[in-house]
Amino acid sequence: MIVLEEFLARIRHDVDKALDELIPGVDIAPVNLHQAIRWSLFAGGKRIRPAILIAVGKTFDANPDHLLRSAAAIEMIHTYSLIHDDLPAMDNDSLRRGKATCHIKFGEATAILAGDVLQTLAFKTVAEDVSLDAEVRVRLIALLGNASGTPAGMVSGQQLDLDAEGKPLDINALEQIHRQKTGALISASALAGAIIGGASEQDFAATERYASNLGLLFQITDDLLDVTQQTTTLGKTAGKDAAAAKATYPGHYGIDTTRELAANFHKMACEELSSIDKDTSLLDELVRFIIGRSS
């Protein structure tokens, strides 16, 4: 059995190497644009979405070389969302991944462009991945477009989140925001691994249910960390949700009940793995990592 910490460290190394090869260098014009992308991309993210993609792909016996560029593409989309989320018109934050945010370091216009181009590079990366059949690439592109866009993806979740600021929300609306804003890209990471691994229809459906619980668990854990951890541990401003009157699980249920709910999503995610006739121990470990993380 692979120790999860070793697996995650290897993913961080391999994905960072792939990203370095895929992103234009700082010797290529426009230099400030490429510096801005690299500033945010290599600031030390956990690479959890690539890890989910690669773990699911490995579970379905995919060739590891075939997973890497899609994993890098998902990290590009994720980093674009962080850059744009930190902008003055959105969360207006000055700290991300323990460093100054992209717009603080490079200016707002360049940060907007860095986010834009990370998004287009992600789709280009998948489209040009010659290790994958054309049909697989098209499925992945559609998956990423749906998960990062609207009406059920990350951008629509972000809009719902902005619209909900300062308003009382029922739990269904809160869950919808979390599922779209964060869950959709986490789910897409798992499903991309299943697509590249050629999972059967039944295994794909089980992966979808696993990922849906995992995605919600990820954001609930993020909500908990925002109220229980310090800024230095998180590498981003702690206590931001309450200050911005954001809709969160701890805000709705309190910390103790939120922890119980997280444990329940943990259990449900792991239960979905039992119908998959493969060694799913890595996927089990990933859920444990997500609920136990401190940043």
Residue nearest to ligand GRG (CB): 45
Among 69, 84, 103, 259, binds ligand GRG (CB under 6 A): 84
Is the Cβ of residue 158 or residue 187 nearer to ligand GRG in the bound state? 158
Is the Cβ of residue 69 or residue 97 nearer to ligand GRG in the bound state? 97
The answer to whether 93 and 101 are in contact (CB under 8 A) is: yes
Of the candidate spans 11-19, 34-42, 75-83, 253-261, the one that interacts with ligand GRG by CB under 6 A turns out to be 75-83
* Number of Cβ atoms within 10 Å of the Cβ of 120: 11
Does position 285 bind ligand GRG by CB under 6 A?
no
The interaxial angle of helices 201-228 and 184-196, nearest 10 deg, is: 150
Euclidean distance between CA atoms 225 and 238, whole angstroms: 8
Does position 258 bind ligand GRG by CB under 6 A?
no
Reference 199, options 27, 72, 60, 79; nearest CA is 60
Please provide the DSSP assignment of 195-225 as one string. Answer: HHTT--HHHHHHHHHHHHHHHHHHHHHHHHH
Tokens read off for 14:
């391999």
Of the candidate spans 9-17, 42-50, 59-67, 258-266, the one that interacts with ligand GRG by CB under 6 A turns out to be 42-50
Does position 248 bind ligand GRG by CB under 6 A?
no
Task: State residue 99 phi and psi, 5-degree precision.
Answer: -130, 170
Instruction: Enumerate the β-bridge partners of residue 232.
Output: none
Per-residue binding string, ligand GRG, 87-116, x by CB under 6 A, is: ---x------x-------------------
Does position 252 bind ligand GRG by CB under 6 A?
no
Among 40, 59, 70, 81, binds ligand GRG (CB under 6 A): 81
* Integer angstrom CA distances of residue 52 from 22, 90, 109: 20, 27, 32
Q: Which residues bind ligand GRG (CB under 6 A)?
A: 45-46, 48, 78, 81-82, 84-85, 90, 97, 154-155, 158, 181-182, 219, 222
